[in-house]
Structure 1
Amino acid sequence: MLRLTQILGQKRIAIAEACLIGLVSGLAAVALKQSVEGLTLWRLHNPIPVWLLLPGLGLVGGAFAGWLGEQCPETAGSGIPQVKAALGYVHSPLNLRVALMKLASTAVALGSGLSLGRQGPTVQIGAALAAQLSDWVPTSPEYRRQLISAGAAAGLAAGFNAPISGVLFVVEELLQDFSGLTLGTAILASFVGAVVSRLLGGQGLNLSGMGLTQTGLSVQDLPFLALLGVLAGVLGSLFSRGIFTSLRLFRRWQRLRLAFRVGLAGGITGLVGVGLSVAAQDNTGLREFLVTGDATWQVIAIAFISKFFLTLLAYGSGASGGIFAPALVLGSALGCLVSFLAQATHGWLGFPTDTLASGNTTTYALTGMGAFFSATTRVPITAIVIVFEMTTNFNLVLPLMIGSGLACLVADRVTTGSLYNGLLAFKGIHLNPAPSENNPWAHLTAADLMQRRVETLTATMSIPEALDAFARSHHRGFPVLTQGKLVGIVTQTDLAEVPQTRTAAYTVADFMTPRPVTVAPEAPLPQVLYLLNRLKVSRLPVTDGSKLVGIITRGDIIRAESEKISGQSSGRMATSTPSYGIYRTRSPALGQGRLLVPLADPDTAPLLLSMAAAIAHQNQYELECVHIVRIPPDLQPSEATVDLKLGKRLLIQAEALAEEQGLCLHTQIRVGHDVARALLEVVNTRHIDLVLMGWRRHPITPGRILGSVVDTLLRQAPCPVMVVRPGETDRYERWLVPMAGGPNAPMALSLLPALVKLAHQPMVCLCSVVLDPAQVETMQPQLQSAATALEARLGFPVKTRILRTTPVAEAIVHLSRQDHSDVVFLGASREGLFSQMLHGNVPLEVSHDSPAMVILLRQNILAEPSGD
C-alpha cells in the first residue's frame, strides 16, 4: 500500500478507493433489489391459491431467512446499528462474508413477504464491502473508519437512488464527522453507487416519473401540515418504542431458534395478507398506491395499522431487513389521512377544494413520508432530502421542512435519544455521546505503540559493515547514533547510492539523512500518522530530548489495529486502572540514560542508593527514584488519601546522596492498585535503561520465584533489571560471579567495575558450573577470555574456577562459603542458568544457604526487536 501511495499519490488512491466502494455497493444494491422484486412478483402472480401460498411461503421463506441469520448473527435487523458500532470504535464484524450473508438473508426475508425494507441492509452491505477492502489493503484505523462510512453512504445512496441523502445520513447519524477527507470519499462513493443503481436497477423509488409533480401549498394548509408533523412525531416515537417492545417479547422466546421465530413472523404476515390484500403488497407498490390518493380513507387506515404492526412483528423476530421503507409507507398513509381531514375541513369552511393548493393528497402524502421518517430515525435533514431527491420537486421543500422539523421535535419530547443508539444499548453496547471519546486511538501516543528495543548503527561505521547489518536484519532502515544521541537515519535506498567500487572509503555518516524528523513519546497517534503520510516514510524515531527511546512504524500501527479487530492484545495497552502520581521532582536531563531505583524499605534503601550512585557515575545515568503506595482495589488512585511520610523520607535520602555525589536525580511518589504495574508504567513513560531493586527474604508465594513484584519486573520490563538481596554483612570485598554464557553475562561484567568501587580491596572470581566433563575444554577459554578483559578494566587480577559437580545451586553456595564471598553476582541467561532458576530454585537456595549478598541481573531478551 505504501509503494502504491508513493506512485499514485494519496488523493488519487482515495479517489480510486471511493469509486471502487461505490461500484461494488451499487452492484450489491442492484442485486438485492432485483432479487427482492423477482421473488415478490413470483409471490403475487402465482397460480397457487393465495390462502395457501402467502402463509406457506411466509413460514418456509421466513424460516430459511432465519437459518441464514443463524449462520451469521451479525445480519440481524437492519444492520445500521452494527455499522454505527463499528464507526463508534466498538468491535463489530464487517467483512465480505457479512455482506454476502446479509444480501441473501434480506432477499429471502423480503421476498417471503415480511414487512421490512431493503435500504437499511444496503447500508450494512456497503459498509461491510468497504471494511473488507480496508482489510485487503491495510491502512490506518482512522482511514479505515472513513472507508466504512463511505461504504455506508454508497449503500444508502444506491438503495434510494439518492446520493446526497447517503452522505447526509452518514454525517447526521452514523459518523458525525465533517472532515474534508470523510466528506470527499463519502460523496464520491455515494455518487458512483447511485449512478450504478440507476443505470442497472432502474428508477427504483424515484417518484418523479409517476406524474406526481403537481404539488402545491396554500396558507390554509399550514395548520394541517403542522398537525401532520405533530401526529407523525407522536406515532413515529410510538413506532420506535414498539420496536423495542417487540424485541423484548421475542427475547422471551430465546430458547426457540431464530429460524422458527422468523418463520412464525412470516406465517402471520401471510395470514394477514390473505385477509387484507393491501398488507400483502410490497413497500414500493403500496407507497405508490397511497401517494396517488385514489384509495378511500378506510383502506388507507387499514394499510397504516396493518403495516405498523406487521413491521414491528418482523423486526422483533430478528429477520434481516430495515425500517426505512416501512417508515416511508406509514408516513405516506398518515399524510393521506390528514389530507382527507384537511379537504373536509376546507369544504366545511367554504374554502375551494378543487384547486391544486388546497389539501392536495400528494403533497400531504410526501410530507408525511419525510415527517414519519424523521420522527423514527431522528435525522430530519436526511428525511427532507430523501423525499426531495425521490421527487425532484422544489415545491415540497417548505412542507417537508414544516412536517419533518415538527415531527422530530415532538418525537424528542416523547422519547429521547437515537433509535440506533437504543438498539445498540438493547444489545449491551453503549456509545459515548462524543464519538471521539469512544475512539481508543484518539488517546494513544507514540509511546503506546512504539518498539522500545531499537537496532541502531553508529555514524562512524563503514559502509560494508552497514551493508552486513542490513543483510542480517529484515529492517529497511536504521537510526544512526553518535555518543548515544540520534544524529541521523540511514535506509537501504541511501546505501544504494554508494559507488560499488569504493564502499570501504565511506562511512554511514556520508550517506545518512541527518537531523531526521522525530516525534516525542507523548506525540498523539494522529500526529504520527500525519507525519508518516506527509513524509512518505515507513518509520519515525521516537526521542526524549536527544535520546532515542524507540521507533514507531506503519507496521506497529497496523498490527495494533489487527489485534483490536481480532480481539487479541499484545499487552502494550494495559486495561487496568493506571497509577496516579501525587509527588514529583525533576532535574535537568543531562545524562545518557536513566536508572530506576524503587524505594520501599528503609533498611535496604542505603544499599540500593549506593549501588545506583556507583553505576550512574560510570554510565553517566540520571537517577530516577520512585516510591509506590499500594491502595485497595475498590479505591480510585486519583481519589485515595495516603500517608506520604515514608515515601518522602526515602526520597530525602536519595536527594542527599545525589547532592553529595553530584548526580542528576528525579523523584516521584505514585498511588496504585498493583506495585509491579505501577513500576512498569514508570519504566515505560520515563524510558528507563536499567532497574535496580531490592529483594527481601520473605516466604515465597506458590508459583512465584522471587515474589510477585520482582517476578513481574524480571519478565515484563523492556530494560535490564538488577535485583539485590542484602547479605549478613555490609562488605563488598569478595565477589563471586557464576557464568553460563548468554547475553546477561557480558552486561554483568560491564557493571562490575562500578560496583567493585564500593570495596576497599576487591577480589573477583569468575566461575562456571558444568554438568558434563567434556564441557570443560569449551568453557575454559571463554572464562579466561572474560577474565582477561575484566582485568584490563579493573586493574587487578581476576581468578577463574570451573566446577564439575551437581546440583548447580549447591556448587555455587559451596564455593561462596569456601571463598568467604561477600557478593554473589548471578549474571545468567535464559538459555543457561536462568532457565534452571525458572524451573528450579537456584536463587532461592543461594539466598537461603549463603550469607553473601545476592545480585541477580536479567535482560529482557524475549522482547521482539523493532521492525517494519
Structure 2
Amino acid sequence: MQPLALLQSLQSLLRPKRLAILEAVLIGLIAALSAVLLRQAVVLLGGWRAQESMPLPAWILLPLIGAGSGFLAGFLIERTGPEAAGSGIPQVKAALAHVPIALNLRVAVVKFLSTMLTLSGGFALGRQGPTVQIGAALAAQFSRWMPASPDHQRQLIAAGAAAGLAAGFDAPIAGVMFVIEELLQDVSSLTLGTAILASFTGGVIARVLAGPNVTLGFNPLAHETSFTLPEIPFFLLLGLLAGIFAALFNRGVLVSLKWTRRNLRLSLPFKIALAGLLSGITAAALPIVFRDSSTLQVFLTAGTASWQLTALAFVVQFCLTLLACSMETPGGLFVPSLILGAALGHLVGMAENSLLGGEPVTYALTGMGAFFGAVAKVPVTAIVIVFEMTTNFELVLPLMIASVTAYLVAERLVPGSLYTQLLALKGIQLEPDKISDGLWARLTAADVMQQNVETLTSQMTLDEAVQAFSRSHHRGFPVVENGKLVGIVTLTDLDKVAQRYLSGAAFVKDIMTPRPIVVEPNDPLSQVLYLLSRYKLSRLPVTEGRRLVGIITRSDILRVESDKLRGGSTRIGPVAEPSYVVYQTRSPATGRGRLLLPLSNPQTAPSMLKLAIAIAQERHYELECLQVMLVSRRRVPSETEVNTTRSRRLLTQAIHQAKAANVSIHTQIRVAHSIDQAILETLKDRHIDLLLMGWKGNTSTPGRIFGAVVDTVIRQAKCDVVLVKLGEEPASRLLRSPVPTPHSLERWLVPIAGGPNSQYAIKLLPALVSVSRQPEIRLCQIFPSDDSTHNTHRLEEDATFLRQRLQRSVTTLPICAKSVSDAVVDVAQRDQCDVVVVGASREGLLQQAIQGNIPEAIARHCHCTVILVRKAIT
C-alpha cells in the first residue's frame, strides 16, 4: 500500500498538467525497464541455447528446448493469464475500444515470462509486440493506482503502448505514430503529449541501458546508401511484391489460426509445445544462422547472402511464423515482418544490382519497412521505424515509394487491420468508430440524465424532509431556491441530525451540503463517471449556470452500460416510445396461426422467406413480414417523417414469393427506437404463434452469442421462436463476402436430448426439410462417457416418427462424449452437414446459449446453417 499512498499523495499535490507530465515519464520509465529486462533475458537464454547446440546434437536439443519452453509458456498463460496469448496488440486495441479485456500487472508479468520462454526457445516471433502489451498493461495498472477519468486512463494505456514499442525498437517517434495510426486514432493535445513524453522516455532509457535494440548487418552511421531515379521502378516492384506477400501472410495467419482451433483438439500448452518442437526440428536441419532471429536479421541486412540462402530464409521465416501464430504463441509479428521484408528486398536488390549496379542493402532496408507497413497496415510507422534505426535520409524516398505501394496493394487484396480481424475470430467485433470514440466519450450528461427531478427547498423543516425521504426511493435530493441549485441533502446528512443536536423544526439548509459538485449537460459521460468515482458520490446534479435541469445517478450509468451490452448506441438515452405503424398490407385471415418474419437484409431475405413459407405451408399459418425503421430516441416515432421506398420494395418481393407458394401474407413497416421493441410489440398486437429470426452467430460483446435484438427477444417473446444462422458456401468465405451465401440444405443433423424443445424441433423438422430436394437426416444423441446404459429408446422413436412423416431413411447416431457441443461440431464437420437443428431446453441449453456455450461452439467451428428452436414460454 505504500507505493499506492505515495502516488495518491503526489496526485493531490500536483496540478493536472504537471501530474500528466509525471505520469507520462513514469510510464515511459517502467515500460523501458520491462523492455530491457525482456531483451536481456531473451539474449541470455537464447545465447545459452545456441551455445549448447554446438557440442550437443542439435536435432535433439533444439526440438526439446522448443517443446519444453512452449509447454511452460502455454501452461503459464492457460492457468494465470489467458489474455497474454498471441502478440498482445489485438488485446490492447480492444481495451482502447472499451472492450472489457484485462490489462493489469498480472497480464504484464505473464506476458513477460511467457514471451521470454518462447523467444529464447527459438520461436520465429519478436518481442516488440509483447512489449506493447506489457507497457499498456503496466500503464493500466498505474492508472488504477492513481484514480483518473476513463478518457485519461485510455490515454495512459496508449502512452504505455507507445513507450513499449519505442523501447523495443529504439524508435520514439514510431511509438507515437503507431498509437495514432493503428491503436488509438486520436490526435488530441493531451493524448499526443502524453504519448510523446512516454515514448521518448521509454526509447531513450532503453537505448542508454541496453544499447541498440535492433541490430543490422552494417554500421548505419558509417554506411552510405545511394538512390537514383532509374531505381524507382525497382522500388515500385519491391512495394508490389511486399504488398502481395504481406496480404498472403495476413491471410495465412487468419486461416492457420482458424484451422488449428477447428481441427487441433489440444490444450494451449500442448499446442505451443508442438509449434516449438517443429520449429526446433526445422532450425536443427538448417544452417546455424537460422537459429536466432537477430542473427538472421544481421545476415540479411549485411548484403553478402546468396540469393539461394535469402530465398530459403524468406520461406522458412514465413512458414515458422505462421506455425507459431496458429498456436497462439506469445510473441510479436514485427520482427518476423522485418526479416521477411529484408529477405524480399535483398532479392530485388540483387536483381537490380545485376542490371544497374545498385546496393542490395538499400533494398533490404526498404523491404523491411514496406513489408512491415503492409502487414500491420501502418505505412507511416514503418517508414519512421526504419529511418530511426538507420538515421539515413537517403532511405526516406525509397521507403515512401515502396511502403505506400505495399500498403495499397495489401489493403486491396486483404482489406482491414490484421489485429481487428484477430479480434473478430474471438467474437469481438470493433465498430469502425469504436476505437477513436468510445461509449463514454460519445454520450453526454444530457443523454442519460433524468429531467423530472424531485427537489427540496432550503426552508423545509427536517421533519418534512424525513417524510419526503420516506415517500421516495431516492437516497438524496437536490435543494433548490428560485429554480437555482443551492445544495444537496442525503440520507447520510439526516443521520447526522442527532449528532448535531438538531430538532425536527430545524431547516434543510442546516444540514445540506452547499455548493455540491455538478456537471453541465454537454459534459461527456466519462467526466460524470470520473466525478462519481473520484468523490464517492451516488448522484450528480446537472445544471446550466446554476439552474437545475436534471440529475444523474449510478443507476442511470448502469442502465446505459446495460443498454450498450444489449444493443449498442441506438438503445442508449431516454426511455423508448412505442413503435408506430406507417405502412401495412393485409390478406385474408385463412390460416390456423401466424408466423412473424422480421426482414432487414435484402441479400438474406430470400433464404429466410423460403424457410418461413415452408413452415407456414406445413402448419397452415399466415405469414407476417415486418420491416423496422429506426429513429433517434430524441424523436417520437409517430411524429417522425421517414422514407419507406426501400422497405416497401423488400416487402413487395416477399409478397410475390408468398403468393407464388399460395401462402396468405401480411406486411407492415414500423418506425421505432429499437428493433426488439418493435418485434415484441408486433408479437403482441398481431397474436403471433411463431417467430422466425435471423441470427449472426457472433456478437461484439465477449461471452455473449446472441446479438442485441435476439438476446432480448428470446428472453421475452411468449411464442415459439426459431433462430436461423445462415451458413456459408466455401466461395463466400474465400471472397470474404460480408453476407453469407446459403448452402444447399441437404444434409441435416439433429441432436436430441429428450426435452420439450428437442421434441418440438423433431415436429418442426418435416416443414424445414421441405426446402431440400433430397434431404439426408441424421439424428444423434450424446451420452456421457461414463454412461454404460446408452438408452436409445427416444432416439429410435424420433427416427421412426420422421421416417413415417417423410417417407425417407433417417440415420441414428448414438455418441459417447465429454462435451455435447464438441460432439455435435465433430459430427457436423465429419459428415459435412449443411444444417444443424438444436432444440433448446428452458433450463439447460437456452441458458447456456445466452451465456455463449453450445451455439457459440457450433457457430464458430461450423460454417453450416445453425437453427435454434425454442417452444413458447408458458
TM-score, scaled relative to structure 1? 0.59
- Residue 607 (structure 1) aligns with: none
Native 8 Å contact 1:369 1:387 kept in 2: yes
- Residue 431 (structure 1) aligns with: 430
Work out the CA distance in 1 between the residues paired with 2:672 and 2:94: 40
Q: Does 1:215 find its partner at 2:225?
A: yes
Native 8 Å contact 1:273 1:279 kept in 2: no
Q: 1:42 to 1:454 in 2, by over 3 A?
A: farther
Work out the CA distance in 1 between the residues paired with 2:62 and 2:447: 59
Q: Does 1:16 find its partner at 2:22?
A: yes
- Residue 119 (structure 1) aligns with: 128
Work out the CA distance in 1 between the residues paired with 2:544 and 2:229: 70
- One-letter amino acid of the structure 2 residue matched with residue 419 of structure 1: L
Q: Does 1:290 find its partner at 2:300?
A: yes
* 1:741-760 map, 5 Å: none
Q: Does 1:397 find its partner at 2:386?
A: no
Work out the CA distance in 2 between the residues paired with 1:644 and 1:161: 61
- Residue 161 (structure 1) aligns with: 170
Q: 1:283 to 1:277 in 2, by over 3 A?
A: same
Q: 1:545 to 1:176 in 2, by over 3 A?
A: closer
- Residue 636 (structure 1) aligns with: 628
How many pairs are equivalent? 586
Q: Which of 103, 110, 113 in structure 2 is aligned with 1:104?
A: 113
- Residue 830 (structure 2) aligns with: none
Native 8 Å contact 1:94 1:131 kept in 2: yes
Q: 1:8 to 1:457 in 2, by over 3 A?
A: farther
* 1:190-269 map, 5 Å: 190-205=199-214, 207=216, 209=219, 213-269=223-279
Work out the CA distance in 1 between the residues paired with 2:428 and 2:344: 33
- One-letter amino acid of the structure 1 residue matched with residue 329 of structure 2: A
Native 8 Å contact 1:449 1:556 kept in 2: no
Deviations 1:153-210 (A, max 9, x none): 1111111111111110010011111111111111111111112212222211155856
- One-letter amino acid of the structure 1 residue matched with residue 14 of structure 2: L
Q: 1:564 to 1:63 in 2, by over 3 A?
A: farther
- One-letter amino acid of the structure 1 residue matched with residue 175 of structure 2: G
Native 8 Å contact 1:279 1:307 kept in 2: no
Q: Does 1:82 find its partner at 2:91?
A: yes
Work out the CA distance in 2 between the residues paired with 1:533 and 1:256: 43
Give RMSD over aligned pairs: 4.9
1:253 deviates by: 3.3
- Residue 152 (structure 2) aligns with: 143
Helix, strand or coil at the partner of 2:266: coil
Q: 1:108 to 1:557 in 2, by over 3 A?
A: farther
1:669 deviates by: 11
Q: Which range moved further: 541-550 or 92-101? A: 541-550
Deviations 1:326-366 (A, max 9, x none): 100111111111111111112xxxxxx3xxxxx11221111
Work out the CA distance in 1 between the residues paired with 2:141 and 2:558: 16
Q: Which of 76, 94, 105 in structure 2 is aligned with 1:68?
A: 76
* 1:777-856 map, 5 Å: none
Deviations 1:479-518 (A, max 9, x none): 32237x44412699x9xxxxx9999999876999999896
Native 8 Å contact 2:185 2:436 kept in 1: no
Q: Which of 56, 64, 68 in structure 1 is aligned with 2:64?
A: 56
- One-letter amino acid of the structure 2 residue matched with residue 104 of structure 1: L
- One-letter amino acid of the structure 2 residue matched with residue 10 of structure 1: P
1:321 deviates by: 0.7
Native 8 Å contact 1:637 1:673 kept in 2: no
Q: Which of 30, 38, 50 in structure 1 is aligned with 2:36?
A: 30
Structure 1, gaps ≥5 residues long: 347-352, 354-358, 495-499, 584-631, 646-667, 679-707, 710-868
Native 8 Å contact 1:452 1:550 kept in 2: yes
Deviations 1:121-178 (A, max 9, x none): 1111111111222233332222221111111111111111111111100100111111
Q: 1:674 to 1:366 in 2, by over 3 A?
A: same
Deviations 1:229-272 (A, max 9, x none): 11111111111111112212212334211112211111111111
1:459 deviates by: 2.4
Native 8 Å contact 2:560 2:572 kept in 1: no
- Residue 307 (structure 1) aligns with: 317
Structure 2, gaps ≥5 residues long: 1-6, 494-498, 582-623, 640-670, 685-715, 718-874
Helix, strand or coil at the partner of 1:399: helix
Deviations 1:578-621 (A, max 9, x none): 445669xxxxxxxxxxxxxxxxxxxxxxxxxxxxxxxxxxxxxx
Q: Does 1:416 find its partner at 2:396?
A: no
Helix, strand or coil at the partner of 1:256: coil
Helix, strand or coil at the partner of 2:541: strand
- One-letter amino acid of the structure 2 residue matched with residue 56 of structure 1: L
Q: Does 1:479 find its partner at 2:478?
A: yes
Q: 1:23 to 1:399 in 2, by over 3 A?
A: same
Q: Which of 184, 187, 199 in structure 2 is aligned with 1:178?
A: 187
Deviations 1:718-767 (A, max 9, x none): xxxxxxxxxxxxxxxxxxxxxxxxxxxxxxxxxxxxxxxxxxxxxxxxxx
Helix, strand or coil at the partner of 1:458: coil
Q: Which of 46, 52, 67 in structure 2 is aligned with 1:40?
A: 46
1:457 deviates by: 5.7
Work out the CA distance in 1 between the residues paired with 2:202 and 2:260: 35
What percent identity do the matched residue pairs reach? 51
Work out the CA distance in 2 between the residues paired with 1:562 and 1:42: 51
- One-letter amino acid of the structure 1 residue matched with residue 225 of structure 2: T
Work out the CA distance in 2 between the residues paired with 1:59 and 1:515: 65
Helix, strand or coil at the partner of 2:440: coil
- Residue 488 (structure 1) aligns with: 486
- One-letter amino acid of the structure 1 residue matched with residue 399 of structure 2: L
Q: Does 1:131 find its partner at 2:129?
A: no
Native 8 Å contact 1:213 1:391 kept in 2: no
* 1:333-352 map, 5 Å: 333-346=343-356
Work out the CA distance in 1 between the residues paired with 2:59 and 2:629: 69
- One-letter amino acid of the structure 1 residue matched with residue 140 of structure 2: A
1:449 deviates by: 5.7
Q: 1:487 to 1:60 in 2, by over 3 A?
A: closer
Deviations 1:543-579 (A, max 9, x none): 69998575347x78998999999x999xx98799944
Native 8 Å contact 2:158 2:195 kept in 1: yes
Helix, strand or coil at the partner of 1:138: coil
- One-letter amino acid of the structure 1 residue matched with residue 429 of structure 2: H
